[in-house]
Chain A
Amino acid sequence: MTAISAPRIQEEPVVPLRRPGRWVTYAVAAVLAAMFVHTLLTNKNFGWDVVGNYLGSGEILAGLGKTIELTVIAMAIGIVLGVVLAVLRLSANPAMKGFASLYIWFFRGTPVFVQLLFWGYASALYPRLGIGIPFGPQFVSAPTNVLITPFIAAILGLGLNEGAYMAEVVRAGILSVDRGQTEAAQALGMSRLRTLRRVVLPQAMRVIIPPTGNQVITMLKTTSLVSVLAFPELLYSAQLVYSTNFKTIPLLITASLWYLLMTSVLNVGQHFLERRFNRSERAVSRRAAAEIPSEGR
């Protein structure tokens, strides 16, 4: 009887295992941390006062704005291009499939840094760009250097490269959706495009979102390569400053702190996005419930 009425179990005390190794690692970590803080504070070459002066300065903030602008535009191009390329790659049309494969092969197979240089030196390849009939006359044309400014070169270089990577991300997402979903849509008479837009892509989002977050973070840092095109994003703005005052290390630290801050913000954002798209076990849609007239319930 007591066994049933008194289910409380007395926890027996257990002598924990000694873990001397842990204490050694704590000690090593403490020494290393102390050394690190010590060098940060005592090595005057870090120039923390200079970092403090420039962290919120106009030229650095302007560069920060340009970096964000580049990231947003290049990612937007990359995502749109990625969806289109992924769909082409999965299409039944051999020409479209081939084009997408070739595109992805080329843009993933060459360094984005080299691609950026190509766009920057585009005028050496084609001095003028124009619109006309293939192999025929041109209607309008303009010097390449006028059309492809450093900003345009940066966006083309980053966006077209990103498209190739996003294509693979989107393709993985599309392939993750059960084949039965497509068959059910087809059996209802839906077109391929409608099936993709209404049935497959919404369900692919769960697989697409997390790696896309990674791509955004990578893109934010990759924009620093654009400094080679003399486009004043964050890194190049810092370089411009230290080329006149020779405070190289403090300005590189200034730029790094901003990059760190932005990637940290993006990390937090990604965490929330992932949580949102993982809510698969939604039982009842509140919005859908509101749509139903009372006599239907």
Chain B
Amino acid sequence: MTAVETSREAPMVEAVNVCKSFGSAAVLKGIDLEVRRGEVMTLLGPSGSGKSTFLRLINHLETLSAGRLYVDGQLVGYSERNGRLHELPPSAVQRRRAEIGMVFQRFNLFAHMTALQNVMEAPVGVRREKREAVRKRALELLDRVGLADKASSYPSALSGGQQQRVAIARALAMQPKLMLFDEPTSALDPELVGEVLDVMKDLARSGMTMVVVTHEIGFAREVADHAVFIDGGVVVESGNPAQMLTDPRHPRTKAFLGKVL
């Protein structure tokens, strides 16, 4: 397993006492965790627990209030000199962000572009890759998520599950080293959840490092290497998903799972 072989390297994501407050409301109160290379981590927790905020901190869509958050050994939005954080210029943030794929709850496909154009936009526009090579790769990615025949469809003509699969292909087109999923199936009709989870399982098997915020306990149990339960802005419990999800140690985890399952 790649996860075992590479476990001695620096972790892909390392959070050290990560804190985040919006005004006077403290959302994250000191999160410490590690995501190793090739590992799939699921973040579980009640809504408002801060798990989505933590995910958005990883690619600097939100700014840190305190603590350190490293991706592949680097701070994403900052550089650190003499123990102080310095804001990075936008171009540097953009370069680091481009290496982190993100999939949103509401898909957020560009509504005025076809599926293929959505997938091609960033590699061509941001990385300045050759159009022809990107088109080939984009079509392969759409094929991989089972949507080769929808390449020229606009998002409005696709189902929620299809849109989310295009969104995954769009993120993969940048060949990221890390994929973030922010409740990727929460906005889907129940019968469409499976097709998105299948794509994510396939991605996990290919060795992609993934951090997944989800309510899909089944996915967590089946695919994740590591499960973390967050509540009230702190990590309540973390560990092996099979163990944690069937026999949680902490009463709050137990109460949450009792409601979800």
Contact = CB atoms under 8 A, between A and B. Distances in A.
Interface in B157-184: 157, 167, 170-171, 174
Contact of B148 (A183, A186, A296): A296
A289 B102 CA distance: 27
A187 B102 contact: yes
A283 B174 contact: no
Interface string B104-126: 10101111101011000110011
Interface stretch (A138-146, A164-172, A194-202, A208-216): A194-202
Contacts of A184: 102, 104, 108-110, 167
Interface size class of B (residues with CB under 8 A): 35 or more
Contacts of B167: 184
A187 B153 contact: no
B121 A198 contact: yes
A281 interface: yes
B108 A189 contact: no
Interface stretch (B38-46, B89-97, B203-211, B247-255): B89-97
A296 B151 contact: yes
B139 interface: yes
B261 to A, nearest CB: 30
B191 interface: no
A291 B113 CA distance: 13
B90 A191 contact: yes
Instruction: Pick the most buried of A186, A187, A191: most chain B CB atoms within 10 A of its CB.
Output: A187
Interface in A171-189: 178, 180-181, 183-189
B154 A284 contact: yes
Contacts of A284: 114, 152-154, 157
B151 A288 contact: yes
A188 B151 contact: no
A285 B104 contact: no
A188 B116 CA distance: 15
A39 B125 CA distance: 66
Contact of A296 (B109, B139, B153): B139
Given A198-B121, A283-B154, A190 B94 contact: yes
Instruction: Pick the most buried of B90, B108, B148: most chain A CB atoms within 10 A of its CB.
Output: B108
B98 interface: yes
B108 A288 contact: no
B135 interface: yes
A276 interface: no
Interface residues of A, number: 31
B88 interface: no
A18 interface: no
A17 B101 CA distance: 66
A283 B125 contact: no
B97 A289 contact: no
B95 A189 contact: yes
Nearest to B96: A189
Contacts of A285: 114, 152, 154
B152 A188 contact: no
Interface string A275-297: 00000111111001101110011
A126 B228 CA distance: 71
Nearest to B143: A296
Contacts of B101: 187
B174 A291 contact: no
B139 A183 contact: no
Interface in B65-113: 90-91, 94-95, 97-102, 104, 106, 108-112
A183 B61 contact: yes
Contact of A189 (B111, B122, B139, B156): B122
Contacts of B170: 188
A190 B125 contact: yes
Contacts of A271: none
A71 B61 CA distance: 43
B110 A199 contact: yes
B114 A281 contact: no
A115 interface: no
Contacts of B156: 280-283
27 contacts: A183-B61, A185-B110, A186-B61, A186-B94, A187-B100, A187-B102, A188-B170, A189-B94, A189-B95, A189-B99, A190-B122, A190-B125, A191-B94, A199-B110, A280-B111, A282-B154, A282-B156, A284-B114, A284-B152, A288-B114, A291-B135, A292-B139, A292-B151, A292-B152, A296-B143, A296-B148, A297-B148
Given A189-B95, A199-B110, 17 more contacts: A187-B104, A188-B122, A188-B170, A188-B174, A189-B94, A191-B91, A194-B126, A284-B114, A284-B154, A285-B152, A285-B154, A288-B116, A292-B139, A293-B139, A296-B143, A297-B148, A297-B151
The 6 tightest CB contacts between A and B, nearest first, are: A189-B98, A184-B108, A188-B122, A180-B108, A187-B102, A283-B157
